[in-house]
Structure 1
Amino acid sequence: MTITINATFSKVPTATEDGILGMRVLGDSPITRPIHIGLVLDTSGSMEGERIKAVKKTLTVLIDKLVAGDKISVVGFANEARVLLRSHVITADNKAATIDTVNLLDAEGGTNMECGIVGIGSSLGEEMPDAVVLLTDGQVNQGITSAAGLGSLIRSYLQAVPVYTLGYGEDHNAGLLKALASRTQGTYTYVNNELVLPESVGDLLGGLQSEVAKAATILFPQTWVCLELTTVEKPGEYQIGSIIADKPTWIMFKIPAGSRVESEATIQYKDCVSSELYTKSCVFDTSLDILDITEQELRCQTARTLEEIGAMLQQGTFRGAKMKLNVMLDLLNASVSSRRPLVIHMKAQIEEMIEDVKRMEMGTPDRRQITAMAMRTTSLGANYSAQRGVTGGGAVFSSPQQREARTQMVTLYSQEDPAL
Structure 2
Amino acid sequence: MNQPTLSLIPMYAAVAAGRSMTLDVLVKIMPPTVERSVQRPPLNLGLVLDRSGSMSGAKIDYARQAVAYAIEQLLPSDRLSLTLFDTQVKTEIPSTLATDKQKLLDIVRHIRTGSSTALHAGWVNGGMQVSQYLNPEHLNRVVLLSDGLANVGETRPDAIARDVHGLMERGVTTTTLGVGADYDEDLLEAMARSGDGNFFHIDSPDQLPEIFDTELQGLVGTVGHSVELSLTPLLGATLSDVLNDLAKTPAGALKLPNLTVGSPLNIVVRLRVPALAEGSQVLQVKLAWQTPQQTEVYSLSGALHLDVVNPEQMSDFPANLDVEAQVALLMAARARQEAIRFADRGDWVGAASALRESSVMLSAMPASPEIADELAAVQELTSDFETGEKSLARKRAKYQAYNLSRSRSSGYGKQPPNPAR
Alignment TM-score, normalising by the size of structure 1:
0.83
> Out of 109, 112, 137, which is 1:106 matched to?
112
Moved over 4 A (4+): 11-15, 283-286, 392-395
> Out of 65, 68, 78, which is 1:70 matched to?
78
Give the Cα–Cα distance (whole angstroms) in 1 for the partners of residues 409 and 361 of structure 2: 24
> Out of 396, 399, 412, which is 1:376 matched to?
396
Which structure: larger Rg? 2
Counterpart contact for 2:227–2:255, Cα < 8 Å = yes
Counterpart contact for 2:246–2:256, Cα < 8 Å = no
Determine if the alignment matches structure 1 residue 139 to structure 2 residue 149: yes
SS in 2 for 1:68: coil
Give the Cα–Cα distance (whole angstroms) in 2 for the partners of residues 214 and 120 of structure 1: 21
Give the Cα–Cα distance (whole angstroms) in 1 for the partners of residues 349 and 284 of structure 2: 45
Offset at residue 315 of structure 1 (A): 4.8
Residue 209 of structure 2: aligned partner: 198
Offset at residue 233 of structure 1 (A): 5.0
> Out of 339, 343, 357, which is 2:367 matched to?
339
SS in 1 for 2:205: coil
Residue 354 of structure 1: aligned partner: 382
Residue 329 of structure 2: aligned partner: 299
List per-residue Cα deviations over 1:51-74 (Å, max 9, x = no partner).
222211111122112223222222
Counterpart contact for 2:140–2:173, Cα < 8 Å = yes
Letter in 2 for 1:22: L
List per-residue Cα deviations over 1:289-346 (Å, max 9, x = no partner).
92222211112111111122234345542321222122111111223xx313322211
Give the Cα–Cα distance (whole angstroms) in 1 for the partners of residues 154 and 146 of structure 2: 15
SS in 1 for 2:273: coil
> Cα–Cα, structure 1 residues 283 and 275, in superposed 2: closer, same or farther, change >3 Å?
same
**Unpaired runs of 5+ in structure 1?**
406-420
Letter in 2 for 1:384: L
Residue 417 of structure 1: aligned partner: none
> Out of 212, 231, 236, which is 2:247 matched to?
231
Letter in 2 for 1:193: S
Counterpart contact for 2:399–2:410, Cα < 8 Å = no
Residue 413 of structure 1: aligned partner: none
Counterpart contact for 1:13–1:20, Cα < 8 Å = no
List per-residue Cα deviations over 1:386-409 (Å, max 9, x = no partner).
2347737754xx86226xx8xxxx
List per-residue Cα deviations over 1:265-311 (Å, max 9, x = no partner).
1111111233432111125499xx92222211112111111122234
- Worse overlay, 115-124 or 203-212: 115-124
> Cα–Cα, structure 1 residues 196 and 283, in superposed 2: closer, same or farther, change >3 Å?
farther
Residue 39 of structure 2: aligned partner: 32
Alignment TM-score, normalising by the size of structure 2:
0.83
Counterpart contact for 2:403–2:412, Cα < 8 Å = no
List per-residue Cα deviations over 1:217-249 (Å, max 9, x = no partner).
112227523221233354531111311112211
- The count of residues paired between Structure 1 and Structure 2 equals 387
> Cα–Cα, structure 1 residues 388 and 80, in superposed 2: closer, same or farther, change >3 Å?
farther
Give the Cα–Cα distance (whole angstroms) in 2 for the partners of residues 38 and 308 of structure 1: 35
Residue 9 of structure 1: aligned partner: 10
> Cα–Cα, structure 1 residues 255 and 96, in superposed 2: closer, same or farther, change >3 Å?
same
List per-residue Cα deviations over 1:2-31 (Å, max 9, x = no partner).
211211211467853222111111122223
Give the Cα–Cα distance (whole angstroms) in 2 for the partners of residues 389 and 297 of structure 1: 14
List per-residue Cα deviations over 1:125-177 (Å, max 9, x = no partner).
36065333221111111222122100111122343544222111111111111
Alignment of 1:143-292 (within 5 A): 143-159=153-169, 160-221=171-232, 223-224=238-239, 225-234=241-250, 236-258=252-274, 261-282=281-302, 284=304, 290-292=320-322
Counterpart contact for 2:6–2:27, Cα < 8 Å = yes
Counterpart contact for 2:281–2:303, Cα < 8 Å = no
- Worse overlay, 322-331 or 97-106: 97-106
Counterpart contact for 1:247–1:399, Cα < 8 Å = no
Offset at residue 253 of structure 1 (A): 0.7
> Cα–Cα, structure 1 residues 354 and 278, in superposed 2: closer, same or farther, change >3 Å?
same
**Unpaired runs of 5+ in structure 2?**
307-318
Give the Cα–Cα distance (whole angstroms) in 2 for the partners of residues 334 and 388 of structure 1: 21
Give the Cα–Cα distance (whole angstroms) in 2 for the partners of residues 120 and 90 of structure 1: 17
Residue 49 of structure 1: aligned partner: 57
